[in-house]
Structure formats: structure tokens, C-alpha cells
Structure 1
């Protein structure tokens, strides 16, 4: 059995696909960093707000002072270009991985699963030998040059891609997607510039295409007979997302994954014909075989299990948000709400209504009125600020939240001091009231 595993996973194949992906990936990293400055994202997310909502547990992270965040993103852009040309590849890739993790954990007001995927890919690429050919490093150090890599790299990357797409499809098997109401609502707010996207047949097409694309794209790419159909569908799907939803580099990152589904001969012939082609098919078992297989297997197993964690938490994840992040639950819901924050001075008994605009930016305002982790964090911050003034306060939140265009329903228990509660990633917060349900059409806004 071990012999067969070695024969399959450690058989050497031409590394043109990985090399080409490195070039594309590095370019996209640079575009993401420089684009964040050019589009004002750095200013809106890190410079203008008085504070950022970090991932819970990382409250010690702070934006760099002054022009620090602009400088950081500029250096990240340079690092991306270094990855692209393969100059001091591992140093540049590790730097980008660490700084992107910092940026990712520092603010979640603009969270999406794509940012999480990019963070994972950054660290994966640190360990992959993507710089051994068609790179400045290989020119500077000829002993580094290799034209091959183990098949294990293909298996690992394709498996990760399959997990992402599979969970994105599974998550769509819920009433609002299956009855077409969420695609209709989504197009009404994100695609309102195009009358075509307001047609009922368009909503039906989006419903079925989105569902089956995520479910079947990897199998169709793997099967030679359906590969070009899948490639055409991928180009349409991701360009549509780029134009309508304006989600930065991520549709193009997804398109770059197509590289790994074509034969190594085709990738070499189409893109890297000047590179020496490897076709010896040697089996080279590395010294640390067991460690490599063990770490790779554990990582993929965690990726498989993590999106399932919401099933262990009481309540509907669409309502509570508990277990939503890091789970490839993409383009599934839209939240809106209103909330009144009231503080109670435990010493004087005085109650005060908090003016949220005095504490958060306009971008953050929607989140602190509709998302529970933001509510909890703001309550903790209000308590901390009061403590600095020598006051001991309780914080009560009376919030109503609507999902996917429904009329808002009571979301929080207004009698619970949320500032006195603990946040638990793996348990339900009892101050979040039960879901009003998703199948009541009378509860939907007209």
C-alpha cells in the first residue's frame, strides 16, 4: 500500500502549472495591495475609523499610526511583484502571508471568505517549490533549478479547491436560495444597474447556475470530455461576479486555479514553451515523507471539518451567524437591522442611550446593528471606555434584524447585560433570541 501511495503521490511531473500559478498569484497579490490604496480601501478601513473590529481574540492588533498602513500595503505590493518574478521568493511570500494575516485579523467589517482563502493560499505557497523554474532565484542559484515537482502538489491543491466549491454548493441548499427569493433580492440591491438582472427568468438562471456550478465544477474540470464546458462556465461565472459584485481580485484568483486542471503538456506548450519540459516520471520519495503526508492530511481534514461546526451550535446559522465565518458560506444572505444600545451606571442607576455614530464609522454602523459578534465587541468597548473614567456600567442592546429583505424581528434579549457575557466560538450566545423562521412569506417585505 505504501509503495502504491509513493508511486502515485511522489511521481515527479513537470512543474509548469505551479510556476505559471506563481506568476499569476504574485501579480494578483500586487494588484490587491496597490489596488487597496488606489480605491481608498486602506483609508476607509484602517485610517478613518477610530478603531477596527478585529476577530475576537485579536483585540491587541492596532492599525499602524500615521501613514503606516499605506506604507505597509505598498511594501506588500512590492512583495507580490517579487513573488511573480521569483525573486527571493520564500522571503517575499512569507512576508505577504504574515502581513495579510495581520490585515485580515485586524478588521472584519469587509469580511468575506475570499480573504480567508487568500490567507490560506499565502501560507501554502510559502512551502511550495514554485520558484525553482522561470524565476530570478533559479537564475541566481542554478543549483536551485528544477523542472519537476511531486504529483502530491496537484492532489493537495485540487482537493482544497474541491472543498471550497463543495461547501459553497451545500450551503445553498436552504429555502431562500432554493425558492429563488435570495437571488431575486440580491439582484435588486447589487444588480440594480442592469434591468436584465431584474427579470424573473434571470433569477431562476442564477439560482440553478450558482447551485450546480459550485457542485459540479471540479468534477467537470477533472473529466477531459467536460473540461472546456467547465472552463467556459468558470469564465462566465467569475467575470459576472467581478462586474456585478466588484469583489476585487478574487474572481481572477479563482480563474487562475484552472491552470491545475489541464495536462502539464498543454500548460507548458501554451505558456512556458521556452522552459525545459520534464517527462522522466521518476519517483522521488522525500526524507520527511511521513511528516509531509501527515501535515497535508491534517490540514485538509481541518478544512473539511471546520465548515460543519455550525451544526454543533444551537440555533440557525443564518440567524445567529455562529459558525458562519471560515465555512465557505458565500453569497447566501444579506442582513439589515436597527439597534439601541443602553448603558446603566451600576453605582448611580443612571441609564443613557448610546449615540452609535459617536463611536463607529458609517461602514461599521450597519454591522453593530445586525451582527452579533460586532454587538458583543462594541459592548465590551463601551464598558472598557467607561471603566477608564472610573465607571462600572452594564450594556443592554435592543436589536431587530432582518434577513434577506424580511421585516426585522427581535434579535437580542434587551434584559441581558451583554458586556458581562463571554464570547464562546463553539457555543450559542443565549442573549441571541431564536430565529423567527425563514419559510414565512408574510414576514417578507413587500
Structure 2
């Protein structure tokens, strides 16, 4: 746990540094006129440009404090809240590992990862603790198991099995040195298609069983390094490698990383006894949500890869590719056309994301309608013309062109009838 704390804090810090260096913060929070937050969180508005950089600077500082174990609990709470805010504030750059960092942040708030090899212990030696309750480790193992298991199940759909998204991605990477020639080989693509399914399904059992644990660890390193090189998906692969540490016995980790002999010391009995009931209840509720949330797409008609209803927070990782185009048509009550240019409201990056996501199409429509009404067009209808290609298939109509977005309200628990199957 201590080793993971160090890595986790370092990853947060590097994630923020990368966001500064690459211009991600500018592109995501400063350049856009309008945010596209999660629906219901519109009150999380974009702050002034300077405030955005200060905000991310605070996240970086929290990461360093977590890594060093300095004011650890406060730093973990600060990181989780600040990162959660970033996550809810924009959907254009949705990424599974952004969501996973929130969940892990909650875990880090709960566990005593600062009671050994930390500046908090140096400041207050009475905090020193060599062991922790077993649940502090098991929650990480269970979360990893859920992520990989749902990732495997999500791959059991026709387009993945037919290799359609893999073909598109690998064709675009044929110029890569060393791996490029492999990407064009049919046998290698088949290996990746089925290897991905079986890896995600079996990696947790391999890590849990002592005899296969080292094999699972090696496979995890190979799998995640390959993904990092091929798809450039940030810190997610390295985070997953670090999480495998929880599957190894504490004695093994100590022998490798903390060679200084420790005195035998039981877990903090006061901590475990006093909080046993609420810890059990909280964890039961948490993992019930984690079990059910990725299945919510089954409540909606149609393919989740097309409609996007239930796609987020479901561990659908690198499963499909979508492209398309979108335009809006506004008409007054007397039939007069009102020009609408998406670039007057959104950046090119936002437009690409909006065009393939129904909830963002609806949000974009509401932003445009508010602007048109502010300009004096009180009774105006707004229609979307959208065509989308899923996994290289021919373009298809995505949104009902006769649906007036001025009359459509967002209903998160109902199938959106204006999405064309």
C-alpha cells in the first residue's frame, strides 16, 4: 500500500505536468466558449483561465503530498474532490482512467497509506503502523477484478470479434517501427482480438493464485506496455501495472522494496473495531454500485456502442471508433431559417466529440437555443442533421432530423426516441 501511495501520487503529479506541457488544459478548459459537463452539473462552469491553471496546480500539489505522505489524508481528500470536479466539468476528453482515478482517490482517502515511510510519520511518530486491516488491500484487488472482467465481457460483440476497430487502428499505425509490419498481419490482429478478451478475463485469477501470480504480473506488464506504445493512452497502463502490487503478499513487497527489518505489529485494533460496521456497509454499497453500473446499458434499446446510452463508467475500453458530421437547422415560427454555425459556439475538438454522442448533441442544442432566444428568436425550432459511421461502416442517420430539440427534455433513465437505430 505504501509503495502504491508513492506511485499514485507521482502519477497524479506527472498527469498534471503532462496536461500543462501538451496544452491539454488550454484545449479543454480555456479555449472553449462553452463547457460540455455531465448533465446536471452545468453549475460547474469554466473558471477564468488563470484559475484553471491554479486549480490544476493544486491537483499537482495534492499528488506530491500523497506521494510523500505529507498531510496525507487532507491531500487525498483534496485530490479526489478536485479531480472529480474536472471529470464532471467536461465530457469531450472522457477517459476510463480519469474515472478510475476518482475511485482510487476514494480508496486512498479511506486507507492508512501514510503510516509508514511518510513525512507524516516523521512529523508524528505515533502514526507509525507496519500493518493494516485486510480490507484495505482487498478493495483494490476487487476493483481491478471488476475493471478487467467488464472489459472482457464488453469485447464480446460482433464488431470486435470481426476485428473492425482493430483494423482501423492498426491500418493507421502501419508506419510504426518494429510493430508496424505486425499490425498488417491477419494472424497478429486475430491474436490481439482474442488475446485481449482472454487477458482481461483471466488476469485477475492468474494474479490471485500463488502459482500463476508471477506469470500474471509479467503478462500484465507486456499487455500494458504494448497498449501504451500502440495507443498512447496516458498513465492508465502504468496505473494498472502498479495495482498488481496488491495481489502479492506483503512479505514479498517488503523483501524487495523495504529491506529494513520491521517489528511484528498487529493492525490498529481501535481503528478496525470502531469502524467495522460502517466500513462493511460502505464497501457493500460501493461494490454493489460498481457491479450494477456497468450493466445499465442493458436497460436501453439498441447497441450501447451506437447510442452511447450507458457507455461511460462501464469499462468499455478501446472497443469502437466513430466518426461523423453534424449540423443544426433553426427555424422560426413563420418558417424563416436562422443561420447556425457550430464553430460559433464550439471548438473543432468539441464538434467532433458532439457529432458522435447523443447527450452532447442535446447539450449543444440547448446552448444554441439559449443563444438564439437571447438574440430575440423566442419561438424557434432547432433540428439536428447528423450522420455517423461506427467501426468503418457506411454513414447512417444518427439523429431524427424531424426532432425539435426545443421540445426535447433530457431523460437519463429512458431511451431517447430521437436517436435513430
TM (norm. structure 1) is 0.90
Cross-structure match for 1:200: 186
Whether 1:411 and 2:398 are equivalent positions in the alignment is yes
Cross-structure match for 1:294: 281
Answer with 372-381 or 281-290: which moved more: 281-290
Query: C-alpha distance in 2, partners of 1:189/1:206?
Result: 16
Q: How far apart are 1:425 and its partner, in Å? A: 1.7
Structure 2 residue matching 1:228: 3-state secondary structure? helix
Query: C-alpha distance in 2, partners of 1:338/1:172?
Result: 26
Structure 2 residue matching 1:396: 3-state secondary structure? strand
Cross-structure match for 1:350: 336
Change (3 A) 1:190 1:296: farther
User: 122, 137, 147: which is aligned to 2:105?
Assistant: 122
Structure 1 residue matching 2:331: 3-state secondary structure? strand
Answer with 353-362 or 271-280: which moved more: 271-280
Query: C-alpha distance in 2, partners of 1:149/1:273?
Result: 18
Change (3 A) 1:168 1:179: same
Change (3 A) 1:331 1:214: same
Change (3 A) 1:171 1:190: farther
Query: C-alpha distance in 2, partners of 1:127/1:206?
Result: 37
Cross-structure match for 1:111: 94
Are the counterparts in 1 of residues 164 and 392 from structure 2 also a CA contact under 8 Å? no
Cross-structure match for 2:213: 227
Equivalenced residues, count: 416
Cross-structure match for 1:270: 256
Structure 2 residue matching 1:49: 3-state secondary structure? coil
Cross-structure match for 2:317: 330
Q: How far apart are 1:288 and its partner, in Å? A: 2.6
Structure 2 residue matching 1:235: 3-state secondary structure? helix
Structure 2 residue matching 1:36: 3-state secondary structure? helix
Query: C-alpha distance in 2, partners of 1:326/1:381?
Result: 25
Q: How far apart are 1:340 and its partner, in Å? A: 2.2
User: 12, 29, 32: which is aligned to 1:49?
Assistant: 32
Q: CA RMSD in A?
A: 1.6
Cross-structure match for 2:142: 159
Query: C-alpha distance in 2, partners of 1:214/1:80?
Result: 29
Q: 1:131-159, CA deviations, whole angstroms, 9 ceiling, x for partnerless residues?
A: 01110101111121111111112222111
Structure 2 residue matching 1:150: 3-state secondary structure? coil
Q: How far apart are 1:369 and its partner, in Å? A: 1.6
Q: How far apart are 1:64 and its partner, in Å? A: 2.0
Q: How far apart are 1:24 and its partner, in Å? A: 0.7
Matches within 5 A, 1:209-224: 209-224=195-210
Query: C-alpha distance in 2, partners of 1:101/1:33?
Result: 14
Whether 1:309 and 2:296 are equivalent positions in the alignment is yes
Whether 1:78 and 2:64 are equivalent positions in the alignment is no
TM (norm. structure 2) is 0.95
Change (3 A) 1:373 1:191: farther
Matches within 5 A, 1:337-376: 337-346=324-333, 348-376=334-362
Structure 2 residue matching 1:426: 3-state secondary structure? coil
Cross-structure match for 1:428: 415
Q: How far apart are 1:192 and its partner, in Å? A: 5.0
Query: C-alpha distance in 2, partners of 1:192/1:422?
Result: 46
Structure 2 residue matching 1:339: 3-state secondary structure? strand
**Structure 2: tracts of 5 or more residues without a match:** none
Are the counterparts in 1 of residues 129 and 267 from structure 2 also a CA contact under 8 Å? no
Query: C-alpha distance in 1, partners of 2:182/2:65?
Result: 42
Answer with 137-146 or 349-358: which moved more: 349-358
Q: How far apart are 1:198 and its partner, in Å? A: 2.1
User: 99, 103, 109: which is aligned to 2:82?
Assistant: 99
User: 301, 304, 308: which is aligned to 1:321?
Assistant: 308
Cross-structure match for 1:441: none
Are the counterparts in 1 of residues 328 and 382 from structure 2 also a CA contact under 8 Å? yes
Q: How far apart are 1:196 and its partner, in Å? A: 2.3
Query: C-alpha distance in 2, partners of 1:342/1:252?
Result: 45
Whether 1:379 and 2:365 are equivalent positions in the alignment is yes
Higher relative contact order, structure no. (Cα contacts within 8 Å, ≥ 6 residues apart): 1
Q: 1:362-384, CA deviations, whole angstroms, 9 ceiling, x for partnerless residues?
A: 11111222211111000000111
